[in-house]
C-alpha cells in the first residue's frame, strides 16, 4: 500500500455526505447552514477542521457518560424530533436531535451543548428550530418553551446563552423545500453571505468573495 492510497482512505472518511437531502431527509444542522457550504461539503474535496473533530469527540465523551443518568419523562438525551413537510407532492422529513430536552416547572427546556470558544449565529438558529420541533412533539406552548446553548470553552469554562430567537413553520417549510430542490435537481445553490462565512472552511473557493476580501 502506498501513502497515496492511505490518503485516499482518509479523504473518504473525512467526507461529509449530504445525499440524504435528495431522499427527502434533512437534518436540522443542514437546514440552518448556508446551502452552498453544504454543496461544497457534499461534492468537493472535504475539509474537516481540527475544531470539528474536537467538538465531535468531546461531545461523544460527554454523552456516553450522561446516558445512564437519563431520567425518563424529565430529561431526554438526544431525543429524535421529526417534522414532516410537503414539497411539490413529496413528503420531506426534517429531523433534529437536540442534546438535552428537559421538562420541569411547567416549562420545556431545550439545551444544546457546544464545545467551542466562539458561538456563531447559526447555533442560535439551530436551537430556535429545535424549540419549535420539541414543543410540537411534547405538546408545549411557545411561551412555555425555552432554548439554551451551553458553551464549554477550551479551558473548561461553562457559559449559558439563552436563545430568544424563534423560527416559524413557514420558514422551515420554505427552507426544507429549497434545499431538497437544489440537491434533487443537482443544482449548485447561490452563496448565502453572513457572519458565518468567517468560519466557513470553503470561503477560499466560494463565489461570494475571494479569500483576500474575507481577510480584510
Which residue from 22, 59, 97, 193 is in contact with ligand SF4, where contact means CB under 6 A? Answer: 193
Per the listing, cell 429524535 goes with 80
Cell of 92: 420531506
- Nearest in space to 149 (alpha carbons), one of 167, 128, 134: 128
* Part in contact with ligand SF4 (CB under 6 A); list of ranges 118-126, 128-136, 158-166, 185-193: 185-193
C-alpha gyration radius of the chain: 18
- For residue 37, count other CB atoms closer than 10 A to its CB: 22
Positions 37 through 66 that interact with ligand SF4 (CB under 6 A) = 37, 40
When the beta carbons of 40 and 130 are compared against ligand SF4, the nearer one is: 40
Task: Report the b/e string of 46-69 with b at 16+ CB within 10 A.
Answer: bebeeeeeebeebbeeeeeeeeee
Cβ atoms of residues 162 and 147 within 8 Å? yes
Per rule CB under 6 A, is residue 203 in the interface with ligand SF4? Answer: yes
Per rule CB under 6 A, is residue 29 in the interface with ligand SF4? Answer: no
DSSP helix, strand, coil percent of the chain (3-state; round to 5): 45, 20, 35
The whole-angstrom separation of Cα 23 and Cα 195 is 30
* Part in contact with ligand SF4 (CB under 6 A); list of ranges 34-42, 77-85, 111-119, 138-146: 34-42
- Cβ 141 to ligand SF4 shortest distance, Å: 34
Per rule CB under 6 A, is residue 31 in the interface with ligand SF4? Answer: no
Positions 131 through 170 that interact with ligand SF4 (CB under 6 A) = none
Per rule CB under 6 A, is residue 18 in the interface with ligand SF4? Answer: no
Which residue from 81, 129, 179, 206 is in contact with ligand SF4, where contact means CB under 6 A? Answer: 206
* Cα torsion angle, 16, 181, 37, 198, sign: negative
* Part in contact with ligand SF4 (CB under 6 A); list of ranges 3-11, 57-65, 101-109, 195-203: 195-203
- Nearest in space to 44 (alpha carbons), one of 207, 163, 153: 207
Per rule CB under 6 A, is residue 175 in the interface with ligand SF4? Answer: no
Q: Which residues bind ligand SF4 (CB under 6 A)?
A: 34, 36-37, 40, 191-193, 196-197, 200, 202-203, 206, 208
Amino acid at each position: 500500500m502506498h501513502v497515496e492510497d492511505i490518503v485516499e482512505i482518509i479523504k473518504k472518511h473525512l467526507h461529509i455526505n449530504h445525499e440524504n437531502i435528495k431522499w427527502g431527509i434533512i437534518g436540522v444542522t443542514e437546514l440552518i447552514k448556508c446551502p452552498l457550504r453544504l454543496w461544497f461539503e457534499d461534492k468537493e474535496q472535504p475539509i474537516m477542521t481540527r475544531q470539528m473533530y474536537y467538538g465531535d469527540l468531546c461531545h461523544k465523551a460527554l454523552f456516553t457518560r450522561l446516558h445512564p443518568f437519563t431520567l425518563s419523562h424529565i430529561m431526554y438525551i438526544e431525543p429524535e424530533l421529526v417534522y414532516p413537510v410537503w414539497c411539490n407532492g413529496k413528503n420531506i422529513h426534517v429531523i433534529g436531535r437536540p442534546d438535552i430536552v428537559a421538562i420541569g416547572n411547567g416549562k420545556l427546556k431545550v439545551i444544546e451543548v457546544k464545545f467551542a470558544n466562539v458561538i456563531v449565529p447559526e447555533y442560535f438558529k439551530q436551537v430556535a428550530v429545535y424549540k419549535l420541533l420539541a414543543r410540537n412533539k411534547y405538546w408545549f406552548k411557545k411561551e412555555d418553551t425555552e432554548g439554551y446553548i451551553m458553551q464549554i470553552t477550551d479551558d473548561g469554562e461553562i457559559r449559558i446563552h439563552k436563545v430568544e430567537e424563534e423560527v416559524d413553520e413557514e420558514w422551515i417549510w420554505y427552507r426544507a423545500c429549497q434545499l431538497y430542490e437544489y440537491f434533487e435537481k443537482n443544482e449548485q445553490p447561490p452563496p448565502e453571505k453572513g457572519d458565518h462565512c468567517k468560519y466557513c472552511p470553503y470561503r477560499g473557493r466560494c463565489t461570494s468573495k475571494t479569500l483576500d476580501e474575507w481577510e480584510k
